[in-house]
A = this chain, B = another copy of it.
Amino acid sequence: MGLDVDWLKAHVRDIPDFPAPGVTFRDITPLLADPKAFAATVDRIAEPFDGRHIDKVLGIEARGFVLAAPVAYRFNAGFVPVRKAGKLPWEIEREEYALEYGTDLLEIHRDAVHPGERVLIVDDVLATGGTAAAAIRLTERLGGELVGLAFLIELEALGGRAKLDGHEAHALVAYA
């Protein structure tokens, strides 16, 4: 298990000073591009929820789609995109979340989750938790039952886990 995680972590590329000076960006594209690492990542993200019924997997635009969609496929669940403002063409619910300066919006189609459906949220990175918390509120707004959240990476110093309202949450790879 420990070795596996180190092996996955070795496929994450550190990009200094991106997108801003002093920030180290964790670039997951080498991990996605490696067939074995990509398959292992999808399987390991799904693993804590194996054997539990999942109706819908929510993915957050855009990198979140890359992991949430295969997890949905693996669970024989539906896939639901949570998108930035103005991208979804039908009736929506929206939630605000905080950026470093100001706020932004996440949107979901009103018929994307039906009351009582069991929902798993999957995203690439748990950072400040702002987008994940907005996705939780969107799920609850539609009457979905949140089974949990799964991330590839957790940036622990940013304290996002505290924003997840006590919901079950797993991350494969953690950075202090």
Question: Which A residues contact B (CB, under 8 angstroms)?
Answer: 13, 15, 18-19, 25, 27, 29-30, 32-35, 38-39, 42, 55-56, 59, 61-63, 65-67, 69-70, 72-74, 76-81, 83, 87-90, 109, 111-112
Contact = CB atoms under 8 A, between A and B. Distances in A.
A109 B25 CA distance: 15
Nearest to A15: B89
Nearest to A26: B89
B81 A34 contact: no
Question: Taking the full assembly, how many copies of this chain does it contain?
Answer: 2
A79 B27 contact: no
Contacts of A90: 13, 15, 27, 29
A20 to B, nearest CB: 12
